[in-house]
Amino acid sequence: MRPAVFCSRFIAFHLLRGAAATALLLGAVLLMRGCPMCRPLGLFETVRRRFRA
């Protein structure tokens, strides 16, 4: 029987993958300098204004 894609054999490896994913997510938010929802909303508003004018 093959293991599932997201399943890890060892709990330590599973926790390490979770910590790495969390660090990458936080790093991306810090590099973008802003909340993740503000950028798509600003882009949406810009496109909407451009099509209105």
Q: Could you tell me the residue ranges of all domains in the chain? A: 11-52
Q: How confident is the model at residue 4 (pLDDT cuts 50, 70, 90)?
A: low
First to last CA, the chain: 60
Q: What pLDDT shows up at residue 37?
A: 79
Task: Assess whether pLDDT exceeds 70 at residue 53.
Answer: no
Q: Does residue 36 contact residue 29 with C-beta atoms inside 8 Å?
A: yes
Q: What pLDDT shows up at residue 25?
A: 86
Q: How confident is the model at residue 2 (pLDDT cuts 50, 70, 90)?
A: low
Within the chain, residue ranges assigned H as helices are 11-32, 38-52
The Cα–Cα gap between 40 and 53 comes to 20
pLDDT tens sequence across 6-51: 666 788 888 888 899 999 988 877 777 767 778 788 889 999 988 8
